[in-house]
Structure 1
Amino acid sequence: MNNARKATEDADFRGPLDVTSAATFVLDERDVVIGWSSAAQELLGYRTDEIVGRSVAVILMPGGAPEPGAAPDRRAAAGRAADGAGSALVPPFPEHHVLAAVHRDGHRMQLVTAVCLLSGTGQAERLVVAADRDRLREWESRLAMLQGLATESPLGFAIYDTDLRLVWCNAASEREIGRPLSETRGELAEELYPRGRFVTPGYPETLHAVMRQVLDTGEPFLDLHFRAEQPSDPGKEHLWSCSYYRLQDADGRVFGVCEDAFDISDRYEAQRQVNLLVEAGRSVGTTLDVLVTAGELAAVAVPEFADRVEVDLAPAVLEGEVPGGTGSGATDLLRAASRSAEAPDSGSRDDGRATHATGAAPAGDTAGERGRRPPPATYAEDSPQHRSLASGGLVLEDDTLVVPLRAGGGVLGLATFVRDGRRAFFDRGAVAVADELVARAAVSVDNARRYTRERASALALQRQLLPQHLPSNSAVDLAYRYLPTDDLSGVGGDWFDVIPLSGTRVGLVVGDVVGHGLHAAATMGRLRTTVRALAPLDLPPDELLKRLDDLVGQSAQDSADALGTLTGDDDVAAGATCLYAVYDPVSRRCTMARAGHLPPAVVEPGGRVSFPDLPAGPPLGLGGLPFECLEIELPVGSLLALFTDGLVEARDRDIDKGLDTLAHVLAGGADHAESLEVLCDRAISELLPDGTTNDDTALLLVRTRELDDRRVAVWSLPAEPVAAGRARELVANRLRDWGLDELVFTTELIASELVTNAVRYAEGPLHLRLIHDRTLVCEVADAGHTAPHLRHSADDDEGGRGLFIVAQLVQRWGTRYSKDGKAIWTEQALPAPSRPRPGVGDRADLPDGPVLARS
């Protein structure tokens, strides 16, 4: 820049034919040189003493400019000079003429000459002014350029003096201002653009400040963006790219500042619209939620494109369905998003996720079911929105532009753009941008709609496969939470269950299927159904997991065989995890085993939290390693927490930290001050503060109870025929003590038959147990491992009808095996007034009696 400035300062802006700088020489009437300037010497090479007195034909060629390549005829020129033919050599008129010339060193030149006749009595006849033709052309080009800048250039040029008053401006500036220079000369810059300001960061905002800084420092400002109303076009803001530089005269005195400005409003608007579409591609459709997508469309358009935006969607879209179409019957829309430049937070950009469900499974994750259903949108009969819906096309009316969201041949809704104030209109470019913007958003809305439908279907399936409600029981108090995964990950395969078992025991199960989607949900349902089918067999937890593992492995193998490959479409159940525990409220013992699952959390009444060292076992379907049981005794009122890894593990949190947080929350509920429901809520809020997770989450909290000695009676009987009579007597007395006289006869018959079968077919000592719970349980245990079978006896058979009769008297019966033998158990319904409602340590309404009665 310094070199360019120096070249400009060294340049001679005088014309080449200016007598103060051009080559001049004087001729007499015979074209003899009688005067020779120093500039002529510099141009043609001859000193004064070498040329004065000689004919001008020495340097000038006759007949004007010679043809290229023609040799000069010096003799002809000299002859014409001697004959007085100088008038043919140098025209006697003061006009420009191009002549050929020969430099002293012999090279040819093209000169532009101007001849001026001299009047007087002396010898001087004519004054010839000569200049190099190329230099003159350069000078004329400069003049043409300056003339073009002043009259034809689209750039506005203006010169302000040191008081920042307008001195001169070109035609483009005059057109912008709307007044001629004669009217605006002397006005201040800020008077011409009173409400303008610079919007380029890091520079002053006012014209006065910018030009004053240029005058003071001499440093130019280039490409500053100036926003203002054009004086000749009030009401519409323009944007100019402006540059400012200081002006100095030949002596270096500062006399003003020059401004050049180019209106870039159209270019800026086009770039802004391109940026808007780029931003829309980045920020619209970030989630698979129709309401969030609608809010993102409104947010990206305000205030860059419009002052107010409303996005209305058909109710079917929010439910994941396809709208019915266009026409008068399709006018019932919902206001999915609304945003204004004056209140940018007014939009209904609800990007929340499903909160926890207090039931087993939440309803389908749709806007209506999550309490997010938007209000209805109403339109006047002849409104632009009404006409757009009726026609299915774009409608532009004054400051309102309505564009339908179309996808798959149907209209999903409408986007209404409104402009106020200075830009209260939509030109053709703005309409095209709005159409493209809405088209892109419509694709995202339709994708979200399709996902909503698929997710609702998967959640409905998952909801049906999970327990609809958990039955109350005497073994534990319970509470649970299930959170489906977030919208991006899809439905998962976590599940939990509480299964009533014989002898008032209860089975607790929680599991996790790898993967997401309908396949994972269906696999979860198969596993849960299998566990519920195996649990009533009263298998130990390790044996139940072994059978479940065999079934999963066989299912995966069958799928692989059917496909002919072991990769790609294996059953997702392979690798599923499961924890199964059985709690006995009589013995207060809990037996558990796990298949690759996290161990449960155990909280003692004093607040001590532990995670039992339960052998992990392999995930289901892998096979090869056995499962192991762990049996622990739980004090009354202990807290047991079964959960899946979605509760304690996250992308930004280590699982150990999650377990520590869970332990801290559970320890706070050890004193029974909070209900299990409140404790569940606290655990979810602490571990999942946003209410969302990238994996399904299941949490099952149970607080243990004890069936005290007032409800349990146990007797040991000899394996002798007299044991049946003794059993009838013991049963009758105990039932009368419990106030169950109505059940004495049937229970005597049941106990007698079971004891008789044990004496006849089994071995070892016998144990008779009665449990007064929600049903009356009668159990007879022996050391045998052969279970009786129900059969139909023939008319002439003398036996074989006892178990058949027992089955008709009870609600259900079965066999439970242990390492010491087996137990045959039955359950009878209690008379309505006699059904107890037990609680921890509750002894109300029960007669006094021994802890354990034995014979």
Structure 2
Amino acid sequence: MAQDEAISPVEGAAVLEALFHQSPTGLLILDTELRILRINLTRPVLHAAPPEQIMGRHVTEVYDLSAPGEVEAMLHGVLEGGTPAQGRLVGVRPKGAPGPEYLFSVSASRLEDAQGRILGLLTEMLDVTEREKVDARLRVLGSVREHVGQTLDVVATCEELVQAVVPDLADIAVVEVVDAVVRGEEPPLSPLGPVPLRRAAYGHRGGGDQIQAHPVGDVRALPLPTPYAQTLTDLKPRLVALGPDTPWLAANPPRAEAIRASGARFLITAPLTLRGTVLGLLSLYRTDQADVYDEDDVTLALAVAAHTALCIDNARRYTREHAIASTIQRHLLPPHPAPRTTVETAHVHVPAEAGGGGGFDTFALPGARTALVVGEVAGQGIHAATTMGQMRTATHSLAALDLEPDELLARLNDTAISLAQERAALPPDDPMPLTGSCAYAVHDPLAQTCTIALAGHPPPVIAHPDGTTQIPDLPAGPPLGTAEGPPFAATTVSVADGSVLAFYTASLLHTSPSPDTLQRVLAHPERPLQDLCDDVLYRLRSDIRHGDVILLLARTHPFPADQVATWHLDHHPKTVATARAHARHQLVLWRVDEETTYATEMIVSELVTNAVRYGTPPVWLQLIKDSTLTCEVHDSNALAPRLRHAKTIDEGGRGLFIIAQLAQNWGVRYTLDGKTVWAEQTLPPATTARPQQRA
């Protein structure tokens, strides 16, 4: 500025007077000893005492500062170095004055005369109390929105809330949730009566042990009349000052004792509510007499409670859906498979956290054979569990047709595609498309073989009696629900008696410490199956599990030689009588009752007649006495017999109709060298072969 444009002393004095009498910013002039020489009289918050009692006194004698040592160091630094200090946040309260602490943004500049002599400091104090409160509230709300609701667990959500609001919004926070909500049940409507609430989370500024009215996990109703109960009655928040004479404390002695012990001075109660239903209650306490709650804090508490209520309801819905899915899955899975003469089974099932779509099954097939099934469908929760139930029903229905494993999977895949098309027609927010995997195997103890087909599923592990293990080289096959892809293929492997077959879901491999964990465990196949299952289970990692972990073990045993009889028959009409005689003689040896024996003779007669009349040699008859009595007739003609109703004047055509009336079940099984027509009959309990007892 040019010399002739310089401000005159008179003008400078006028500017100074205007600043100290009209500026909204607090101004102080301090000498080199930090004594107050002048103060802005427009900021009464800075001086509770008259100005004449303030002038000449050290700044720390006039104000209680949040960090007096740091403030003095800052001011001395400006005096010594000359570099201004900008925007230092300092808590300020007039010395000894009651009331809250104010936040000021403090800046300081050094004052010098024309000769450069240091005169003191000009200190600017901008009241940012409200601004900082708003910022603090926004930080609390942001923290709640970021951290609350990270898990789909009601109690964990409440714990996240406590961690987010203590100590920035409250010195003590308590979250209580309607106990039915914790279990996933529907929340009650307002007004809330004497409904039990579970103390789900508790936190306080100091950490460590603290006297609580009730321990976390305690379940009890809120007593009346208290602000807690009133808040859950009308769903309106309460801001309450606490003191020794607060009348409603007498209605709740445990809380009164905890409040007195903690030194709580102020309370906000906010309802955890959603769409008119009551999920719980949030209680916030402050212990500092000067740190008073206001209506803005109540508004913040309501916003925090609203977000938390939504998260709790999401967790509740998940808990409910998980419980339903687990119940469905539990009823679908065979908890105690029926004992088999030739197959001993044990299993491990570790459900996914959200309830997966895994399943397994074992069931009897004609001819003393056993079907072993393990599979899973994509997705989690109710949809996955119900879909697996549909697939399990379809598998049983297809198995009743006595299909080969590859043909069964092909038809099961058609079912999955049909279900997927139905699902695709549902609203866009429906779960993921239907896909799945399956391993289907049939163990034949008479041939000592196992025929296996896979649909996008890992192959089984076979542990032989000598301790060696094998993963057979099987075609993987396309996943279920795939319209295009290579055809399914079945592979027959030899399985000696005493071998262990291990079928599993892919999640077992992902959670095992190493890919060969299962093989190492199965290297000792003589151990009890449940011990082998437990050994695999104890080795699993629990940190990464995205689906159901299922392990199905099956140990093979020989079929009793005296419970099966086979005869090769000549290919001419007279062989029918011979076959009936063989059957009657064998049933007498087995002590089968006369009624069953007569029915079996009729079945043998009709089956052998059809084989001789329409089939081609060789022909053989086989009777198998297990839990049922099975009659099988084999010939080399692949042409299938057909059940039809003969007319009155027809001379034939009633054979299979008669068999269908006499037998519990009948069917046709095709082989590479022809077909086998079989019929099953129920045996009285006294003649049923008892499955061998295994350790």
SS in 2 for 1:342: coil
User: Structure 1 pair 221/313, CA: closer, same or farther in 2 (3 Å)?
Assistant: same
Structure 2 counterpart of 1:627, one-letter code: F
Match of 2:227 in 1: 384
Provide the secondary structure at the position in 2 that maps to 1:276: helix
Runs of at least 5 residues in structure 1 that lack an aligned partner in the other structure: 1-6, 13-131, 199-204, 349-372, 650-657, 736-740, 843-855
- In 2, Cα distance between the equivalents of 1:386 and 1:558? 49
Aligned counterpart, 2:17: 147
Mapping of 1:594-605 within 5 angstroms? 594-604=454-464
Q: Which residue of 2 aligns with 1:629?
A: 490
2:339 paired with 1:472: yes
Q: What displacement does 1:819 show?
A: 2.8
Is the CA contact (8 Å cut-off) linking 1:666 and 1:679 kept in structure 2? no
One-letter amino acid matched to 2:279: L
Instruction: Map 1:171-182 to 2 at 5 A.
Output: 171=40, 176=46, 178-180=48-50
Q: 1:518 to 1:776 in 2, by over 3 A?
A: same
Secondary structure, in 3 states, of the residue corresponding to 2:228? helix
Q: CA deviation at 1:223?
A: 1.5
Q: Is the contact between residue 499 and residue 535 of structure 1 (CA under 8 Å) also seen in structure 2? A: no
What residue in structure 2 maps to residue 722 of structure 1?
Answer: 578
Correspondences of 1:248-647 after superposition (within 5 Å): 248-254=112-118, 256-318=120-182, 320=184, 322-327=186-191, 329=193, 331-343=195-207, 374-398=217-241, 399-450=266-317, 452=319, 461=328, 464-467=331-334, 470-474=337-341, 475-484=343-352, 486=354, 493-515=357-379, 520-553=384-417, 575-604=435-464, 608-621=468-481, 622-623=483-484, 625-647=486-508
**Contact map agreement 1:511 1:577 (CA 8 A) in 2:** yes
Question: 1:678, 1:212 → 2: CA distance?
Answer: 77
Deviation digits for residues 610-636 of structure 1 (CA, Å, limit 9, x no counterpart): 443211233345156432111112344
Q: What is the letter of the counterpart of residue 159 of structure 2?
A: G
Structure 1 CA distance for aligned equivalents of residues 76 and 6 of structure 2 = 38
The 1:537–1:752 alpha-carbon spacing in structure 2 relative to 1, beyond 3 Å, is same
Q: Report if the CA contact (8 A) 1:780-1:825 is conserved.
A: no
Could you say what secondary structure the match of 2:312 adopts?
Answer: helix
Distance verdict in 2 for CA 1:680–1:145, change over 3 Å: farther
Question: CA offsets per residue over residues 19-78 of structure 1, 9 Å max, x none?
Answer: xxxxxxxxxxxxxxxxxxxxxxxxxxxxxxxxxxxxxxxxxxxxxxxxxxxxxxxxxxxx
C-alpha distance after superposition, 1:696-727 (max 9, x if no partner): 32513213221255564443343334344344
Summarize the Cα distance change of 1:149–1:603 in structure 2 as closer, same or farther, 3 Å threshold: farther
Contact 1:280 1:297 in 2 (8 A): yes
Mapped partners of 1:578, 1:191: distance in 2: 82
| Alpha-carbon distance between aligned partners in 1 of 2:650 and 2:26, rounded to the nearest angstrom | 124
Question: Which residue is equivalent to 1:170?
Answer: 39
1:395–1:403 Cα contact (<8 Å) kept: yes
Deviation, 1:265, is 1.9
Using the TM superposition, give the Cα deviation of residue 472 of structure 1 relative to its aligned residue in structure 2, in angstroms.
3.3
Q: Which amino acid aligns with 1:583?
A: H
Larger Rg: 1
Q: Is the 8 A contact 1:578 1:597 kept in 2?
A: yes
Given that 1:214 and 1:220 are in contact with CA atoms closer than 8 Å, whether structure 2 keeps it comes out as yes
Q: CA deviation at 1:732?
A: 3.9
CA distance 1:569–1:606, shift in 2 (3 Å): farther
The CA distance in 2 between the partners of 1:263 and 1:323, in whole Å, is: 46
Instruction: Output the aligned Cα RMSD.
Output: 4.4
- The reply to whether residue 818 of structure 1 matches residue 667 of structure 2 is no
Distance 1:793 1:478 in 2: 51
1:770 and 1:802 map into 2 onto residues whose CA distance is: 18
Q: Can you give the 5+ residue segments of structure 2 that lack an aligned partner in the other structure?
A: 242-265
Structure 1 residue 272: deviation in Å?
Answer: 0.7
In 2, the alpha carbon distance for the partners of 1:612 and 1:705 equals 17
- Counterparts of 1:424 and 1:792, CA distance in 2: 97
Change (3 A) 1:781 1:599: same
Larger mean CA deviation between 659-668 and 526-535 belongs to: 659-668
Identity of aligned residues (%): 32
CA deviation profile, 1:58-106 (whole Å, cap 9, x unmatched): xxxxxxxxxxxxxxxxxxxxxxxxxxxxxxxxxxxxxxxxxxxxxxxxx
The one-letter code matched in structure 2 to 1:578 is C
TM-score (norm 2): 0.79
CA distance in 2, matches of 1:148, 1:676: 94
SS in 1 for 2:135: helix
- The one-letter amino acid of 2:46's match is E
User: 1:310-348 CA distances to partner (integer Å, 9 max, x unpaired)?
Assistant: 2223345445555443336254333333332233899x9
Structure 2 contact 173–285 (Cα < 8 Å) conserved:
yes
| Aligned partners of 1:641 and 1:699 also within 8 Å | no
Amino acid in structure 1 at the alignment position of 2:494: E
Q: Which residue of 2 aligns with 1:118?
A: none
**3-state SS, counterpart of residue 671 of structure 1:** coil
The letter for the 2-side match of 1:836 is R
Which gives a bigger RCO, structure 1 or 2 (Cα 8 Å, sep 6+)?
Answer: 2
CA-to-aligned-CA distance 1:703-757 (integer Å, 9 cap, x gap):
3221255564443343334344344435544x3xxxxx4x265675466445444
Match of 2:523 among 659, 663, 670: 670
SS class of match (1:206): helix
1 CA distance for matches of 2:548 and 2:479?
18
Q: Following the alignment from structure 1 to structure 2, what is the Cα–Cα distance between the partners of residues 623 and 604?
A: 36
Letter in 1 for 2:692: P
Q: Is the 8 A contact 1:314 1:413 kept in 2?
A: yes
Q: 1:226 to 1:798 in 2, by over 3 A?
A: closer
CA distance in structure 2 between the aligned counterparts of 1:791 and 1:717, rounded to whole angstroms: 30
Q: Give the secondary-structure state (helix, strand or coil) at the position aligned to 1:417.
A: strand
Q: Structure 1 residues 827 and 663 mapped into 2: Cα distance closer, same or farther (>3 Å)?
A: farther
Q: Give the AA of the match of 2:225.
A: D
Distance 1:522 1:833, change over 3 A: closer
Q: Is the 8 Å Cα contact of residues 590 and 631 (structure 1) preserved in structure 2?
A: yes
| Whole-angstrom distance in 2 between the partners of 1:177 and 1:633 | 98
User: How many angstroms apart in 1 are the aligned matches of 2:277 and 2:430?
Assistant: 38
Q: 1:830 to 1:440 in 2, by over 3 A?
A: same
Measure how far apart 1:470 and its partner are. 3.4
CA, structure 1 residues 284+600, in 2 after alignment: closer, same or farther (shift >3 Å)? same
TM-score of the aligned structures, taking structure 1 as reference length = 0.66
- Secondary structure at the aligned position of 1:762 is classed as helix
Offset at 1:299?
2.5
Counterpart AA for 1:633: S
- CA pair 608-273 structure 1, distance change in 2 beyond 3 A: farther
Confirm or deny: 8 A CA contact 1:685 1:691 kept in the other structure. Answer: no
